[in-house]
Amino acid sequence: MNAFELEEMSNNHWPALSTMLYDGWVLRFAEGYTKRANSISPLYPSTLDLERKIQVCEELYARHGLPAVYKLTPFVQPAHLDGLLEEMGYAMGGTISVQTLDLDQVPEEPRNRSVEIVESFTADWLDAYGALSGVQPEDRRVLERMLANIRTPAACASLRLDGRVAACGMGVLERGTLGVFCVVTDPGYRNRGLGGQLMLRLLQWGKANEAKRSYLQVETGNAPALRLYAKLGYRELYKYWYRVKKG
């Protein structure tokens, strides 16, 4: 799977409220909800003076009451940008592992009846995800608008136990690829294999809709999630990291 394609798809699958293209960089704005949706992705070749360009980005984000945050990959354009940002006072803001899976590895098991798949972002799913992940009321409105910006097929998964949603997640399809996002389990139901059951059902949905591969993004410090994804067969393709302007 092409890492550059994954960067494009991940922007599509977790869309910002607005996007600005600036000399090969993708500037994303979503009222501060999630770093990923409020960051600068230097994906394409740059032609303008770099220090001036960084200053313009800082001014643009400040106008929206946001810090300038860069999402950097091993194939960043230009290659010395990370070092320059560090010199200009940008601190590390977290590292993410991008992992992929060939869906031929996903077993054809009977569908888990406790996992419901709905091909829309329902109020029930949003309520459950918001409660399990701690989404604040003001961010819930932003999240709904972001998800409404997804232009390719998507599905929400909910695993119910004891009459309540114990785990949930979502998947987005594009270019024969299933992106998996927002997988979360109620703390009271953890260590019972529910995350794996939910993920398996989402992956089966992707296969049924002609996906050949899957990807996800996970914080490198999230040991339980890393164990779950490794058990399912995901393997790291590359890492990306954030640079955030200090002060």
Q: What is the pLDDT of residue 114?
A: 87
Q: What is the pLDDT of residue 221?
A: 96
CATH class of 101-238: alpha beta
The number of helices, as runs of H, and strands, as runs of E, in the chain is 7, 11
Q: What is the pLDDT of residue 247?
A: 66
Q: Which two tokens stand for residue 83?
A: 């070092």
C-alpha–C-alpha distance, residues 35 and 56, integer Å: 19
Nearest partner of 13 among 31, 28, 32, judged by Cα: 28
Q: What is the pLDDT of residue 110?
A: 66
Residue intervals in the chain for CATH 3.40.630.30: 101-238
Q: Which two tokens stand for residue 132?
A: 């399990």
Nearest partner of 173 among 96, 133, 234, 119, judged by Cα: 119
With tokens 């779950």, the residue in question is 228
Q: What is the pLDDT of residue 60?
A: 97
Q: What is the pLDDT of residue 108?
A: 78
C-alpha–C-alpha distance, residues 196 and 185, integer Å: 10
DSSP-H helix ranges across the chain = 3-13, 50-63, 81-87, 123-133, 137-148, 194-208, 223-232
Q: Taking the model in full, what pTM does it have?
A: 0.95
> Residues of the chain whose pLDDT is less than 70?
110-111, 247
Measure the CA dihedral 66/129/124/198, to 10°.
Answer: 140
Cβ proximity of 193 and 207 under 8 Å: no
**Predicted confidence (pLDDT) per residue in 67-126, tens digit:** 999 999 999 989 999 999 999 999 999 999 999 999 998 887 766 778 999 999 999 999
What share of the chain has pLDDT > 90, as a percent? Answer: 91
